């Protein structure tokens, strides 16, 4: 069940984001945006957007396609995007 680890990562990221200055806060979300898990992914994106708007955090979303290979690529993309100054 990939949902639980993703949810835990999201919760930790949100907790860290709320502790930083709003102007510097960025949050990344890797979610399945296509395929059989797209509905779950869209729910994750909707929740992340709501949280980001409530905390004035910049949100980056990438498709992890719910596979290990795509998840690794998504993580690398998020590190590159969120880590930009």
Q: Where are the beta strands (DSSP E) in the chain?
A: 26-31, 58-63
Residue 10 has pLDDT above 90, yes or no: no
Q: Which structural domain, as residue segments, surrounds residue 49?
A: 3-82
Residue 29 has pLDDT above 60, yes or no: yes
Other Cβ atoms within 10 Å of 82 Cβ, number: 14
Q: Residue 32's pLDDT band (boundaries 50, 70, 90)? A: very high
pLDDT digits (tens, 9 = 90+) for 57-83: 999 999 999 999 999 999 999 999 877
**How many folded domains does the chain comprise?**
1
Closest by CA to 33, choosing from 56, 10, 6, 61, is: 61
pLDDT digits (tens, 9 = 90+) for 36-61: 999 999 999 999 999 999 999 999 99
pLDDT of residue 34: 93
């Amino acid at each position: 069940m990939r949902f639980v680890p993703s949810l835990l990562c999201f919760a930790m990221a949100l907790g860290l984001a709320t502790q930083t200055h709003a102007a510097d806060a960025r949050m990344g979300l890797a979610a399945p945006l296509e395929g059989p898990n797209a509905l779950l992914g869209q729910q994750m994106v909707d929740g992340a957007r709501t949280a980001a708007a409530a905390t004035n955090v910049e949100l980056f979303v990438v498709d992890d396609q719910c596979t290990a290979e795509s998840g690794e690529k998504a993580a690398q993309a998020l590190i590159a995007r969120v880590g930009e100054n």
